[in-house]
A and B are shown apart, each in its own frame.
Chain A
Amino acid sequence: MTFNAIVWKMIRVNFKRYLLYLSCNTFAILFLFLFFSIYYNDEVERMKETNSFDTVLAIPAAALVLFIIFFIQYAHQMFIKKRTSEFGLFMAIGMSPNNISRLLILESFVISIISILLGLGFGALFSKLSFLVFSYFSMLNHAFFHISFKMFAHTTVIFMCIFWAAVAFSIVQIRHQTLLTSLQSKRVIDVTRTNKSYFGVIGIVLLILSILGLYITYDKQGELLFLWALPSFFGLYLLLSNAIHSVINVIKGQPSLYFRSILLFSSLEQKQKKLTSLLTLASIMIMITTLYCTITLFTTKDEYDRILVNNPSDIVYIENEQINNISKEELFQLFEQQNNPIVNLQTIPIIEIAKDDYYEWKSYYNILSIDDYNALTNEKLQLDENEFVLFINQEPQYIGDLGTIATFEMDQFKLTKKHENIELILTYVGQSTTFIVVHPNVWQQVLEEHSNALYYQHHIHVADWKNSLLAVEQLQQTFKQTNPETSKLFAVSSKIQHYTQNKTENAVLFYLLTFISILFYFGVFILLYLNLTADIELELSKFEKLYKIGITKKEIKRKLSTETFILFFTPTLLGIVLAFLYVVGMVQDIGGITNNLDIVVYFLLMSGIYFFIQFCFFLYTKGKLFTKVWRYLSND
């Protein structure tokens, strides 16, 4: 029998073990591919350029790569651990370390190729399916879905790098292991006895500092989010790496407490090394899922409100002597034809003055007559000829100290500010939001000097703005016919178009984050589930021993339940608390948490959903584990 024949025979014998390993790798590739199918989607790429999507996606992308590294390495270690004693036996009967390495490389090669084929195949299928689901609910347009070579290539390269790094690490480990440790690998328990509590303290300090840092800097430099997240995650890891050991040590000092749950504590202590990375990763993924879902919900809702605030008028356009000329009758008729009549039309004559400002930048000012201003605001202000009203058409919170002026000079006029109004009344159109409101005589004189700077802002209100898209498009078409070369400045601006564009962008963002959330939900579940079931043989043998000396069914159930509960809800709680602290930091730039209680409601909703899903996963896992253990004990 040749060496290769032995390898094939072993694969057939250990088929179940290989199948699990293969499934884990296939799953990792599927995960990577699904993410890349979104990350490299043309629509998302376009949005990355305009909407700083790259910053939004940086943290989930980093978490996903971490997850994949951990998952592949975990699956590989699980596979190798089960085979170490087998390798020990091979070496005992004369197989050289080179033979073992060759065997491992050959197996890994076959497994990696099959995993890639399966993972990419399923990936393409699932990404198409998920797109179909979303487009079914009319959330995405049909051009959204596509698959590119880049997606396949990046998935394969990243997987191969991580996979072969894990294999190489195992080969080095096996070559350095003594025959005895290989043979005894199943019996030795790895328990950390050294106490490095200062690591835990460093972890807590890092966590606090990074969250404080985010809180202080976020309103000025939001792009630092990623940089603050890294020390938070590292701090969490350090904290967890020490917390389990320290907590168990403290509990051990209280025998009555320790003995009450001795099986649980010993099991946690035994698994603590593996648990540290697992719990950290799961907490990070849960934090990202909750945080991103909350932010998405908030911004989606907030964006809609913002569109309504930013567009007080339904349709706005600028007209001057040559461009966008349409008679009032024609305009009314156009909307009439679409069964969406104009209910209000405000035409505001404005003279646009350009002035050299600091650093020789040009600043534009809209000169407006007090009569038009009063008509616009329903006020009854009076002005002398040497006075002006400063009207800044913006929301006060975005102005700060900039933009306000006390005097205004133009031509022969030296005007003094009488009154100031900072308020968003008009939909933004033209080149400036600053209006210098002057006496009608002054306005007339300025007009004589700058007659070519006169333009009209038309602010239209229709009966139903949500159904005004066709009329707006027709108006745009009419203007295009008379003057095809118009600049962006003269484009028709409408509430409905902003709304539609925003809806599409939100749909993509929603799709993206829902997708990542689902990936992360499953990712966390599979990590936790695998952790509980990976060493099921050891668990079964432990319960068999306990059963012989008289552990009851109820006690087995309680033990399994508590351990599963701790494993499922510790990262959930940590992730959600961390997400909340990040939400508090991230709303600093929009007035802090107290001014945005909406986001707290969304946060509670998202964490509630997460808890519920996690609870379902917990019930499923607990039930499955108990059935497995009890069936094993009953058949024994």
Chain B
Amino acid sequence: MLEVKHVTKVYGEMNIENAVVALNDVQLSVKKGEFIAIMGPSGSGKTTLLNIMSGIDTPTVGEVMIHDENLHAMNKEQQAIFRRQQIGFIFQDFNLLDSLIMKDNILLPMILEKKPVDEMERKFTELVELFDIELIANKYPHEVSGGQKQRAAICRSLVNEPSIIFADEPTGNLDSKNAAVVMESLEKIVNQFRTTVLLVTHDVFAASYCNKVLFIKDGALHSYIVKKENRQAFFNQIVDNLTMIGGKVHDI
């Protein structure tokens, strides 16, 4: 469902001495229902790759296909509509609007899509119950905890029933307890809705919830591992790989 074809991203002018190559000829294929983490040292190009795959940034060379549609061949207007219909986003800093209560924040993609009110209400009830945030529905973002904000952001990413969710360091601003809740929520999305989830993280603990981890180094895909046994074994495997490519490692 997601195809990344020969994507290169260069900051500055290509073939000029000072140009910085953030991504170098990346090729990637993601199937429906996959739960993938992208890991790598700081500055390896993880977030750049995620931004390009989600249409927030543009590649210098190459193309990204989602459901056989070339994301970067679209104009900005089409891209925006594609993003809110087909893609869900989860950000490290939650990306919630401070002026809206949590309920309105969650429903925002549906509101932009001008969905009927009863459909919004139904979806909202379903999601807040699933992620256990009914009690904070009428609160403003500054009145709730980081974990609750991120669960609300997950709900928001799901309201339009996207086929793929991109998460950029979703546990980066959270303590380990809240990080676990958020990762379990993402796991729930994959298992319950068969939604593809692609996340970028530094956190081995978070990555261990995924089914597959891609390692990126110096802008190129370095290697990948697939979860075969339990989460502890997968965690250790990730640590080993990270050590090999020079990433940050924390205990589980």
A residues with CB within 8 A of B: 184, 187-189, 191, 255-256, 259-260, 262, 266-267, 269-270, 538, 542, 545-555, 634
Q: A548-B95, A549-B89, A549-B95 are in contact. Are A262 and B100 (CB under 8 A)?
A: yes
Q: How far is the CA of A550 from the CA of B80 in the complex (A)?
A: 4
| Further 9 A-B residue pairs, CB within 8 A, beyond A191-B140, A259-B117, A266-B104 | A187-B141, A255-B121, A256-B117, A270-B99, A542-B99, A545-B95, A550-B87, A550-B109, A551-B84
Contacts of B56 in A (CB 8 A): 548
Decide: A549 and B84 in contact? CB cutoff 8 A: yes
Decide: B112 and A555 in contact? CB cutoff 8 A: yes
B226 within 8 A of A: no
Contacts of A269 in B (CB 8 A): 99
Contacts of A259 in B (CB 8 A): 107, 111, 117, 120
Contacts of A188 in B (CB 8 A): 142
Ranked nearest first, the 5 interchain pairs of A and B with the lowest CB-CB distance are A550-B84, A550-B83, A552-B80, A270-B99, A266-B99
Q: Closest residue of chain B to A547, judged by CB?
A: B80
Using an 8 Å CB-CB cutoff, how does the interface string of B77-93 with A read, 1 for contact, 0 for none?
Answer: 10011111101010100
Contacts of B108 in A (CB 8 A): 262, 546, 549
Using an 8 Å CB-CB cutoff, how does the interface string of B108-120 with A read, 1 for contact, 0 for none?
Answer: 1101101001001
The residues in B between 61 and 106 inclusive whose CB is less than 8 angstroms from any CB of A are: 76-77, 80-85, 87, 89, 91, 95-100, 104
Q: A189-B99, A266-B104, A554-B77 are in contact. Are A549 and B109 (CB under 8 A)?
A: yes
Q: How far is the CA of A267 from the CA of B95 in the complex (A)?
A: 17
Contacts of B109 in A (CB 8 A): 549-550
Q: Closest residue of chain A to B157, judged by CB?
A: A549
Q: List 17 A-B contacts (CB under 8 A).
A: A191-B140, A255-B117, A255-B121, A259-B107, A269-B99, A546-B97, A549-B89, A549-B112, A550-B83, A550-B87, A550-B112, A552-B77, A552-B80, A552-B81, A553-B77, A555-B112, A634-B76
Decide: B104 and A262 in contact? CB cutoff 8 A: yes
Q: How far is the CA of A444 from the CA of B219 in the complex (A)?
A: 123
Q: Closest residue of chain A to B57, judged by CB?
A: A636
B46 within 8 A of A: no
- B84 to nearest A CB, angstroms? 3
Contacts of B96 in A (CB 8 A): 545
Q: How far is the CA of A89 from the CA of B112 in the complex (A)?
A: 38
Q: How far is the CA of A538 from the CA of B98 in the complex (A)?
A: 10
Of A262, A269, A547, most B-chain CB atoms within 10 Å = A262
- A342 to nearest B CB, angstroms? 79
Contacts of B104 in A (CB 8 A): 262, 266
Of B82, B98, B117, most A-chain CB atoms within 10 Å = B98
A-B pair count, CB < 8 Å, reads 76
B212 within 8 A of A: no
Decide: A553 and B100 in contact? CB cutoff 8 A: no
Contacts of B82 in A (CB 8 A): 550
Q: Closest residue of chain B to A188, judged by CB?
A: B142
Contacts of A189 in B (CB 8 A): 98-99, 140, 142
B202 within 8 A of A: no
User: Which of B76, B77, B98, B120 is within 8 Å of A187, CB to CB?
Assistant: B98
Contacts of B85 in A (CB 8 A): 550
- A284 to nearest B CB, angstroms? 28
User: Which of A256, A549, A553 is within 8 Å of B156, CB to CB?
Assistant: A549
Q: Closest residue of chain A to B54, judged by CB?
A: A548
Contacts of B141 in A (CB 8 A): 187
Decide: A267 and B84 in contact? CB cutoff 8 A: no
- A470 to nearest B CB, angstroms? 72
- B30 to nearest A CB, angstroms? 20
- B19 to nearest A CB, angstroms? 18
Q: How far is the CA of A266 from the CA of B102 in the complex (A)?
A: 12
How many positions in chain B have a CB within 8 Å of any CB in the partner chain?
32
The residues in B between 185 and 210 inclusive whose CB is less than 8 angstroms from any CB of A are: none
Q: Closest residue of chain A to B153, judged by CB?
A: A549
Contacts of A547 in B (CB 8 A): 80
Q: How far is the CA of A270 from the CA of B142 in the complex (A)?
A: 14
Contacts of B100 in A (CB 8 A): 262, 266
Q: How far is the CA of A188 from the CA of B143 in the complex (A)?
A: 9
Contacts of B99 in A (CB 8 A): 189, 191, 266-267, 269-270, 542
Decide: A542 and B77 in contact? CB cutoff 8 A: no
- B101 to nearest A CB, angstroms? 9
Decide: A550 and B142 in contact? CB cutoff 8 A: no
Decide: A553 and B117 in contact? CB cutoff 8 A: no
- B198 to nearest A CB, angstroms? 15
Q: Closest residue of chain A to B94, judged by CB?
A: A545
Q: How far is the CA of A553 from the CA of B83 in the complex (A)?
A: 13
Q: Closest residue of chain B to A257, judged by CB?
A: B117
- B218 to nearest A CB, angstroms? 25
Q: How far is the CA of A96 from the CA of B176 in the complex (A)?
A: 36
Decide: B98 and A549 in contact? CB cutoff 8 A: no
Q: How far is the CA of A546 from the CA of B108 in the complex (A)?
A: 9
Q: How far is the CA of A266 from the CA of B89 in the complex (A)?
A: 22
- B148 to nearest A CB, angstroms? 15
- A256 to nearest B CB, angstroms? 5
Q: A259-B117, A549-B89 are in contact. Are A266 and B80 (CB under 8 A)?
A: no
User: Which of A262, A270, A548 is within 8 Å of B91, CB to CB?
Assistant: A548
- B42 to nearest A CB, angstroms? 21
Q: How far is the CA of A553 from the CA of B95 in the complex (A)?
A: 19
Decide: A551 and B111 in contact? CB cutoff 8 A: no
Q: How far is the CA of A131 from the CA of B100 in the complex (A)?
A: 51
- B162 to nearest A CB, angstroms? 10
- A16 to nearest B CB, angstroms? 24
Contacts of A184 in B (CB 8 A): 142
- A195 to nearest B CB, angstroms? 15
Contacts of B156 in A (CB 8 A): 549
Decide: A549 and B83 in contact? CB cutoff 8 A: yes
Q: Closest residue of chain B to A634, judged by CB?
A: B76
- B199 to nearest A CB, angstroms? 15
Q: How far is the CA of A184 from the CA of B140 in the complex (A)?
A: 14
- B43 to nearest A CB, angstroms? 19
Q: How far is the CA of A548 from the CA of B157 in the complex (A)?
A: 11
Q: How far is the CA of A634 from the CA of B77 in the complex (A)?
A: 12
Q: How far is the CA of A324 from the CA of B143 in the complex (A)?
A: 91
- B163 to nearest A CB, angstroms? 14
Of A270, A547, A548, most B-chain CB atoms within 10 Å = A548
Q: A191-B140, A259-B111, A550-B81 are in contact. Are A545 and B97 (CB under 8 A)?
A: yes
Q: How far is the CA of A266 from the CA of B80 in the complex (A)?
A: 22
Decide: B84 and A262 in contact? CB cutoff 8 A: no
Q: How far is the CA of A551 from the CA of B108 in the complex (A)?
A: 10
Of A184, A187, A546, A555, most B-chain CB atoms within 10 Å = A546
Q: How far is the CA of A634 from the CA of B156 in the complex (A)?
A: 24
User: Which of B76, B112, B140 is within 8 Å of A553, CB to CB?
Assistant: B76
Q: Closest residue of chain A to B76, judged by CB?
A: A553
- A63 to nearest B CB, angstroms? 32
Contacts of B140 in A (CB 8 A): 189, 191
Q: How far is the CA of A57 from the CA of B155 in the complex (A)?
A: 60
- B158 to nearest A CB, angstroms? 12
Using an 8 Å CB-CB cutoff, how does the interface string of B147-190 with A read, 1 for contact, 0 for none?
Answer: 00000000010000000000000000000000000000000000
Q: A259-B117, A262-B104, A553-B80 are in contact. Are A548 and B97 (CB under 8 A)?
A: no
Of A259, A260, A262, A549, most B-chain CB atoms within 10 Å = A549
- B21 to nearest A CB, angstroms? 21
Contacts of B97 in A (CB 8 A): 266, 542, 545-546
Q: Closest residue of chain A to B91, judged by CB?
A: A548
Q: How far is the CA of A260 from the CA of B120 in the complex (A)?
A: 13
Q: How far is the CA of A255 from the CA of B98 in the complex (A)?
A: 20
- A325 to nearest B CB, angstroms? 86
Q: Closest residue of chain B to A189, judged by CB?
A: B98
Q: Closest residue of chain B to A633, judged by CB?
A: B76
Q: How far is the CA of A558 from the CA of B121 in the complex (A)?
A: 25
